[in-house]
Structure 1
Amino acid sequence: MTRTWMITGATGGFGRLMTQQLLERGDTVIAAVRRPEALGDLLAEHGEQRLQVVRLDLTDPESVRAATDQAFAANDRVDVVVGNAGHGTFGAAEELTDAQIARVIGVNLIGAIALIRAALPHLRAQGGGRFLQVASEGGQITYPNFSAYHASKWGIEGFVDSVAKEVAPFGIEFTLLEPGPSHTGFADALDLAPASEVYAHTPSGDTRRAVENGELAWVDPERVAQEFIAVADVSPAPARLALGSGPYRQIRTALTARLAELEAHREVTVSVDA
């Protein structure tokens, strides 16, 4: 059965890979992007009926609403909406500028929220659908130098968790996608803050050197895109899907430690009940 998908950030990374794979299998993709011209090759190959391109800027809520309204108006049904577009900022908290923090929060959190809010009335009116929100392993764990990025990803995970409970009665299901870093240009596209010497010999400095040297636990982007697509067929929709052995280990370790700390302070925790 063919489906209609709306994907933000379809000009690169996982969004581009998903778009290619979906078009190749016969689905229809509405690519919501800032630079429609970047999809010229795919348009030439698949045509405007199969690949519908709308202009969307996640930093502009009016643009998000207009693009989403246009996508749903042009199709009888949009089966899956994928919030994929994102931005990466790198640097210790005091190294980052106000503008860098505002941009990553504006795109990854405020923009993602705007897309979800714009899509919900349409999904509800058509009787349901799927929303796949690309988060990151960084929505469950943290590394030095990614504080602003983590703030955006932990934030969207909390938002989606809550919204999923609100709209479940309408047949709308959400899945948070949590891949590890991949060779899709993520590291090259990071908005880097200048290094401060005071952090050179700290965990922050170690993380900076690891990123510069490519010492990350990489995932296969083609396989990740395949799993993004496949999870739309899983019922009921999983609340979260981690992708990569690195994310599995790191998230499991973090959750285990969190539970252990909760239990360690149980006596104090329950003692304040009224």
Structure 2
Amino acid sequence: MTVRTWFITGVNSGLGRLMTEQILERGERVAGTARKMDALIELKEKYGKQLWLQSLDLIDTFAIRRVVDAAFAHFGRIDVIVNNAGYGLVGAAEELLDEQISHQLNTNVVGPIQVVRAALPHLRAQGGGRIMQLSSMGGQWAMPGLSLYHASKWAVEGFFESTIQDIAPFNIQVTIVEPGSARTEFAAASAALSPALDAYAHTPAGAVRRLIEPGFRSQPGDPAKMAQAMIASVDQNPAPKRLALGTDAYNNIKAALTERLAALEAQKQLAFSTDFDA
């Protein structure tokens, strides 16, 4: 088995933590980042030099560049970049605070873009590598009350749709991961709530808030299995462009794509009619 080195953001909890534990158990190495280090002390004690840790907040572009450079300098080579860190912002568009909008987009969109930008010179110099970007089934499908979260995931998918083509000549491949709902800490700890407006209490957005606010544990996805599938995907060549994980991810994405394709086909005659006459 090839011993690889991974750079993973958000290794303190959720899929990032599970991936890190599984990778280390395989004997591979991880350069991990998180905003809070307290939860990682035991893991560091267990795996020692296999695990290199740095504190990082994705809203700090200067820190991103410093940490990515330091990780490559420490291990000499990093085979896989995993943009995992992020969170969800719950609330209808009118309920969101200006600072919440900025923080959501800076964390979920600008941060991952800057991680990739910092890593690309190193990946090119070493002759290639893999990038894994955590999106969501919400990167192709949307539900009420999560407009900014969906905006962030659709944006980052658009970024990689183009960037994949930019970096293919350098033997750098990308997989966009689209998990469905999984029993991680997302609802309880990784979701931020906007202030609630009474006007939305009895709307679909209000119903979503009531579902997420107390935390919910009935998600179908097994996060350990999802982490395992993400790790296994790195052995595929060429890399899968997208990785849908979970029955709800498959069903919701398929329904959204089918609906959009049907709407597009219905407009075919109109679309062709707006070209210049032959």
Task: Tell me the TM-score normalised to structure 2 length.
Answer: 0.95
CA change 1:206–1:36 in 2 (3 A) is closer
Partner of 1:150: 150
- 3-state SS in 2 of match to 1:233: coil
Pairing partner for 1:237 from 236, 239, 253: 239
Give me the whole-angstrom Cα distance separating, in 1, the residues matched to 2:45 and 2:272. Answer: 63
Displacement of 1:206 after TM fit?
A: 2.5
Alignment pair present for 1:22 and 2:26: no
Displacement of 1:125 after TM fit?
A: 0.6
Partner of 1:192: 193
Displacement of 1:204 after TM fit?
A: 1.5
Partner of 1:8: 9
Unaligned runs of 5+ in 1: none
Partner of 1:96: 96
Q: Matched residues, percent identical?
A: 50
Alignment pair present for 1:257 and 2:256: no
Give me the whole-angstrom Cα distance separating, in 2, the residues matched to 1:22 and 1:16. Answer: 10
Partner of 1:55: 55
CA change 1:270–1:90 in 2 (3 A) is same
Displacement of 1:113 after TM fit?
A: 0.6
- 3-state SS in 1 of match to 2:31: strand
Give me the whole-angstrom Cα distance separating, in 2, the residues matched to 1:181 and 1:229. Answer: 19
Give me the whole-angstrom Cα distance separating, in 2, the residues matched to 1:10 and 1:169. Answer: 30
CA change 1:90–1:30 in 2 (3 A) is same
Counterpart residue type for residue 249 of structure 2: P
**Alpha carbons 1:217, 1:246 under 8 Å: kept:** no
Counterpart residue type for residue 191 of structure 1: A
Superposition pairs for residues 204-215 of structure 1, below 5 Å?
204-212=205-213, 214=216
Unaligned runs of 5+ in 2: none
Partner of 2:222: 220
Counterpart residue type for residue 41 of structure 1: E
Task: Tell me the TM-score normalised to structure 1 length.
Answer: 0.96
Displacement of 1:215 after TM fit?
A: 7.8
Counterpart residue type for residue 60 of structure 2: D
Displacement of 1:205 after TM fit?
A: 2.2
Report how many residues are paired: 273
